[in-house]
């Protein structure tokens, strides 16, 4: 977790930490859901140069992010089809271009948590240092114009508290959900420079469900009124919550434990105070979903330029 001093350069570098003494006893660690492993793959050779990791729900979107980033960084090879590094499994998809790794995580806390356990071990075994990780995703906004991008400063649970709870060995363990403040500020500054869409910095509520968990009235089951829904969402808004999604809490907690600099950037697809159904056209949805990619692409390009100069 602590930054290490490089005696030659005087610079410090931050490793990606695991906190598990049992791993030392494993001769071969199989990263089952990636179809990768420490004995079957040379992880330092494959991933040692990774400095940026972008994660998002859909495999298709993460492939399109890789193509976009390759073009932005002028690293595209017109002949190259970016291969899915996890082609041996259909659980997650992974793509790499230069120092940028792009990984899908599916929907919800359990799905992203499994992916993050294996991703953090992968980055650790590959001896990666100074890695920045960003979740790029979609969300429901509260009182925001659809298409607004939210950079999360803190992830809140469904009772509006900044914590992530997990039951381990039958006991509830509470973990902190703060994200990197400096990184959120840098991303917000990038959005000002880009000046292409509205961006705000705020709190994000992370729920366990898309329907009843997010106070929707259109699930298969619903036992509350429209007024109850409005009261709940207005209370969330009063607590500083700008948007709702389903992965940020465990993402923030696990990245903090491993010493990764982490941010969450989600576009809002609708204003939840005005409705529940996602009925905008495919084209509008597609253009909204590109916004977090454009912002994070700009940030990565800017960082790499600064590193080179």
Provide the strand spans (E) within the chain: 4-5, 12-13, 30-31, 36-37, 52-56, 94-97, 100-104, 132-141, 149-156, 163-168, 171-176, 199-206, 241-245, 261-271
Using rule CB under 6 A, residue 249 touches ligand URA: no
What is each CA distance from 70 to 57, 109, 135, 270, 294, in whole angstroms?
Answer: 20, 29, 18, 30, 12
Cα–Cα distance between 255 and 162 in angstroms, integer? 15
The string over 259-278, giving b where at least 16 C-beta atoms fall within 10 Å of a residue's C-beta and e elsewhere, is bbbbbbbbbbbbbbeeebee
Considering only residues 133 through 172, tell me which ones interact with ligand R2B, judged by CB under 6 A: 137-139
Measured over the CA atoms of residue 131, residue 73, residue 264 and residue 60, the dihedral's sign is: negative
What is each CA distance from 89 to 36, 117, 160, 205, in whole angstroms?
Answer: 9, 16, 37, 31
User: Which of residues 139 and 191 has its CB atom nearest to ligand R2B in the complex?
Assistant: 139
User: Using CB under 6 A, which of the segments 76-84, 98-106, 244-252, 291-299 binds ligand URA?
Assistant: 244-252
Among 156, 215, 269, 300, the residue binding ligand URA under the rule CB under 6 A is 269
Among 247, 252, 267, 272, the residue binding ligand R2B under the rule CB under 6 A is 247
Cα–Cα distance between 25 and 18 in angstroms, integer? 14
Nearest to 239 by CA among 271, 199, 204: 204
Using rule CB under 6 A, residue 18 touches ligand URA: no
* Contact map string, positions 21 to 50, toward ligand R2B, x by CB under 6 A: ------------------------------
User: 247 touches which of ligand URA, ligand R2B, none (CB within 5 to 8 A by kind)?
Assistant: ligand R2B
Using rule CB under 6 A, residue 107 touches ligand R2B: yes
User: Using CB under 6 A, which of the segments 24-32, 224-232, 241-249, 252-260 binds ligand R2B?
Assistant: 241-249
* Contact map string, positions 208 to 227, toward ligand R2B, x by CB under 6 A: --x-----------------
Using rule CB under 6 A, residue 114 touches ligand R2B: no
- Closest distance of CB 258 from ligand R2B, Å: 21
Q: What are the percentages of helix, strand and coil residues in the chain, rounded to 5?
A: 35, 25, 40
- Closest distance of CB 212 from ligand URA, Å: 12
Using rule CB under 6 A, residue 214 touches ligand URA: yes
**Maximum pairwise Cα distance, the chain:** 65
Using rule CB under 6 A, residue 57 touches ligand R2B: yes
- Closest distance of CB 137 from ligand R2B, Å: 5
Q: At 109, list the tokens.
A: 């806390």
Among 130, 180, 245, 276, the residue binding ligand R2B under the rule CB under 6 A is 245
User: 54 touches which of ligand R2B, ligand URA, none (CB within 5 to 8 A by kind)?
Assistant: none
Contacting residues toward ligand URA, per CB under 6 A: 138-140, 210, 214, 244-246, 269
Contacting residues toward ligand R2B, per CB under 6 A: 57, 107, 137-139, 210, 245-247
């Amino acid at each position: 977790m602590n930054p290490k001093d490089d005696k030659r350069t005087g610079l410090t570098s931050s490793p990606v930490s695991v906190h598990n003494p049992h791993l030392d006893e494993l001769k071969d660690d199989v990263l089952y859901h990636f179809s990768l492993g420490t004995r079957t793959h040379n992880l330092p050779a494959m991933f040692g140069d990774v400095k940026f990791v972008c994660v998002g729900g859909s495999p298709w979107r993460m492939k399109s992010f890789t193509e976009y980033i390759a073009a932005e960084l002028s690293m595209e090879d017109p002949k190259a089809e970016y291969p899915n590094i996890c082609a041996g499994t259909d659980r997650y998809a992974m793509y790499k271009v230069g120092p940028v790794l792009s990984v899908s995580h599916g929907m919800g806390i359990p799905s992203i948590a499994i992916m993050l356990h294996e991703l953090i071990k992968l980055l650790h075994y590959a001896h990666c240092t100074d890695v920045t990780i960003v979740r790029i995703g979609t969300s429901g906004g509260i009182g925001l114009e659809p298409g607004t991008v939210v950079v999360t400063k803190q992830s809140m649970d469904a009772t509006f508290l900044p914590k992530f709870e997990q039951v381990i060995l039958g006991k509830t363990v509470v973990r902190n959900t703060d994200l990197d403040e400096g990184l959120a500020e840098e991303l917000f500054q990038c959005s000002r420079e880009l000046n292409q869409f509205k961006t705000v910095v705020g709190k994000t509520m992370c729920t366990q469900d898309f329907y009843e968990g997010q106070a929707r009235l259109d699930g298969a089951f619903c036992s509350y009124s429209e007024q109850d829904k409005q009261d709940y969402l207005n209370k969330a808004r009063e607590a500083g919550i700008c948007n709702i999604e389903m992965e940020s809490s465990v993402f923030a907690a696990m990245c903090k434990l491993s010493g990764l600099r982490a941010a969450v950037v989600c576009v809002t697809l609708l204003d939840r105070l005005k409705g529940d159904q996602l009925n905008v056209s495919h084209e509008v949805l597609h253009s909204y979903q590109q916004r977090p990619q454009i912002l994070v692409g700009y940030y990565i390009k800017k960082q790499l330029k600064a590193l080179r100069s």
